[in-house]
Copies of this chain bind each other. A is one copy, B any other.
Amino acid sequence: MSKLLIVGTVAFDAIETPFGKTDKILGGAATYIGLSAANFNVQSAIVSVVGEDFPEEYLTMLQHKNIDTSGVEIVKGGKTFFWSGRYHNDLNSRDTLDTQLNVLADFNPVVPETYKDAEIVMLGNLHPIVQLSVLEQMESTPKLAVLDTMNFWMDHALEDLKKVIARVDVITINDEEARQLSGEYSLVKAARAIEKMGPKYVVIKKGEHGALLFYKDQVFFAPALPLEEVFDPTGAGDTFAGGFTGFLTKTGDISFDNMKKAIIHASNLASFCVEKFGTERMQNLKREEVQKRLLEFKELTKFEIELA
């Protein structure tokens, strides 16, 4: 079976939503990606960094999900990256209350020897220089390199970001970020412009409005499941990325048709993530729940149409 290499933050989050607030809980892009990909029983490893304050039980939990954490550096005397944010009433926007980079400030990622030949590499949201360093440590060009990023890096490290973008096969960003990166309002035009920067595939995440996959002149649309209640959107995009790469790792098929399926699985998993605070839902997600909701996805968009 293929292997999935994940780089991204492993962190503490403190989250406020209209429905409540948390103390410091487990968070971070790589955490969500790993937990999501674990639903496909793939071999995966996380490259990240934490401080001495990071509870061992969290790492144990990840290991129990078949995630190799030997690439998670534990900095003696260091403090784990901390992010705190408050969501607005519509849950579509948020304010960052606090960001403490801590050990992330001097992070030099080290890819475990056994993962230098990983077929799929998922570059989770992090400084583009760190993402680039991971790519450069690979023994051979991965079968598929997928990049997730955010507007922060477009604002503060655009040149570095463009270097990573030029080297990946797939980029996943949200609609506003696609517009910012391309300077195009139309998402069709934005995707075309981003394809010219390097990635053959462009995935645009629209949150509650679903996701679009662009490849050459083709486009695929995956809906988001209409949910009765979104509790906490934190990590939904990372969970999406983890579902996407987890499915591709498991199937070993990176064709456009299989990517469509991957997007559906990704949307499905993301729909669970938002139902509870932080990683809680993803830590305890059952196979039967995932399968059941996949069927709902099928029903949601299934139609027969005849040309009259």
Contact = CB atoms under 8 A, between A and B. Distances in A.
B301 A305 contact: no
Contacts of A305: 261, 264-265, 294, 297-298
Given A210-B223, A228-B189, A291 B304 contact: no
A226 interface: yes
Interface in A252-290: 257, 260-261, 263-265
A83 interface: no
A90 B185 contact: yes
A200 interface: no
B212 A219 contact: no
A186 interface: yes
A157 interface: no
B230 A186 contact: yes
A86 interface: no
Contacts of A24: none
Contacts of A298: 305
Contacts of A153: none
Contacts of A226: 187-188, 212, 219, 221
B189 A301 contact: no
Contacts of A189: 228-229
A187 to B, nearest CB: 6
A144 B53 CA distance: 64
A23 B283 CA distance: 59
A158 interface: no
Contacts of A218: 299
Interface in A52-91: 89-90
Contacts of A302: 260
A1 interface: no
A300 interface: yes
B212 A209 contact: no
Contacts of A40: 308
Interface in A172-188: 185-188
Given A90-B185, A209-B210, A264-B303, 14 more contacts: A40-B308, A89-B185, A186-B229, A187-B226, A188-B226, A188-B227, A188-B228, A218-B299, A219-B226, A250-B308, A261-B303, A261-B305, A294-B305, A294-B307
